Amino acid sequence: MNGPVFILKGNIIYSKEINKFTICEHGYLVCRDGYVEGVYQTLPFKLGGYPVHDYGDCLIIPGLTDLHIHAPQYSFRGLGMDMELLEWLEANTFPEEAKYKDTDYAKKAYKIFADSMRKSATTRACIFATIHRPATLLLMDLMEKTGLDTYVGKVNMDRNSPGYLSETTKESAEETLEWVKDVYHRKYENTHPILTPRFTPTCTDELMEELKKLQMRYQLPLQSHLSENQSEMAWVKELCPWAEIYADVYDRFGLFGADCPTVMAHCVYSDDREIGRMKENGVFIAHCPESNMNVSSGIAPVRKFLEKGLHVGLGSDVAGGSSENLFRAMAHAIQASKLRWRVQDDSLEALTAEEVFYMATKGGGAFFGKVGSFESGYDFDAVVLDDSRFKSPRPLDIRSRLERMLYLADEREVHAKYVKGKEVDLS
Single residue of 403, 414, 415, 422 touching a second copy by CB under 8 A: 403
Nearer Cβ to a second copy, position 30 or 127? 127
Residue 79 near a second copy by CB under 8 A: yes
Single residue of 23, 47, 81, 233 touching a second copy by CB under 8 A: 81
User: Shortest gap between Cβ of 234 and a second copy (angstroms)?
Assistant: 14
Nearer Cβ to a second copy, position 370 or 404? 404
Nearer Cβ to a second copy, position 47 or 83? 83
| Kind plus residue range of the DSSP H or E element containing 299 | none
Does residue 195 contact residue 136 with C-beta atoms inside 8 Å? no
Nearer Cβ to a second copy, position 123 or 335? 335
Single residue of 150, 215, 227, 297 touching a second copy by CB under 8 A: 297
| Alpha carbon 259 to chain centroid, angstroms | 21
Full DSSP string of 226-258: ES--HHHHHHHHHH-TT-SSTTHHHHTTT-SSS
Residue 32 near a second copy by CB under 8 A: no
Single residue of 296, 375, 423, 426 touching a second copy by CB under 8 A: 296
Straight-line distance from the first to the last Cα atom of the chain, in angstroms, rounded to the nearest whole number: 17
As a whole number of angstroms, the distance between CA 291 and CA 301 comes to 15
Residue 19 near a second copy by CB under 8 A: no
**Number of residues binding to a second copy, judged by CB under 8 A:** 48
Full DSSP string of 98-120: HGGGSHHHHHHHHHHHHHHHHHS
* String of contacts with a second copy for each residue 88-107, x by CB under 8 A: -----------x-----x--
User: Shortest gap between Cβ of 20 and a second copy (angstroms)?
Assistant: 13
Single residue of 334, 348, 384, 419 touching a second copy by CB under 8 A: 334
Single residue of 1, 23, 408, 426 touching a second copy by CB under 8 A: 408
Which residues, numbered 105-164, are part of the site for a second copy (CB under 8 A)?
105, 108-109, 112
As a whole number of angstroms, the distance between CA 402 and CA 384 comes to 12
Q: What angle do CA 62, 65, 71 make, to 5 degrees?
A: 140
Nearer Cβ to a second copy, position 106 or 148? 106
Single residue of 241, 343, 347, 427 touching a second copy by CB under 8 A: 343
Nearest to 417 by CA among 385, 391, 393, 395: 385
Does residue 316 contact residue 69 with C-beta atoms inside 8 Å? yes
Q: Which stretch binds a second copy (CB under 8 A): 16-24, 273-281, 290-298, 301-309?
A: 290-298
Single residue of 176, 202, 323, 373 touching a second copy by CB under 8 A: 323
Residue 297, φ and ψ in degrees, nearest 5: -80, -45
Nearer Cβ to a second copy, position 215 or 291? 291
Q: β-strands 149-153, 122-128: how paired? A: parallel
As a whole number of angstroms, the distance between CA 9 and CA 12 comes to 8
As a whole number of angstroms, the distance between CA 50 and CA 43 comes to 10
User: Shortest gap between Cβ of 391 and a second copy (angstroms)?
Assistant: 5
Nearest to 205 by CA among 255, 262, 275: 255
What 3-state class would DSSP assign to 93?
helix
User: Shortest gap between Cβ of 292 and a second copy (angstroms)?
Assistant: 8
Q: Which stretch binds a second copy (CB under 8 A): 62-70, 134-142, 395-403, 415-423?
A: 395-403
Quickly count: other Cβ atoms within 10 Å of residue 187's Cβ. 8
User: Shortest gap between Cβ of 233 and a second copy (angstroms)?
Assistant: 13
Single residue of 82, 187, 238, 242 touching a second copy by CB under 8 A: 82
- With 0-12 / 13-18 / 19 or more C-beta atoms within 10 angstroms meaning exposed / middle / buried, residue 29 is buried
Nearer Cβ to a second copy, position 112 or 216? 112
Q: What is the DSSP letter of 269?
A: T
Residue 331 near a second copy by CB under 8 A: yes
Nearer Cβ to a second copy, position 178 or 349? 349
Nearer Cβ to a second copy, position 72 or 261? 72
Residue 234 near a second copy by CB under 8 A: no
As a whole number of angstroms, the distance between CA 62 and CA 382 comes to 4
Burial 222-250, CB ≥16 within 10 A → b, else e: bbbbbbbbeebbebbeebbeebebbbbbb
Residues that bind a second copy (CB under 8 A): 75, 77-82, 99, 105, 108-109, 112, 290, 293-294, 296-299, 322-323, 331, 334-336, 338-344, 350, 352-353, 391-394, 396, 400, 403-408, 410
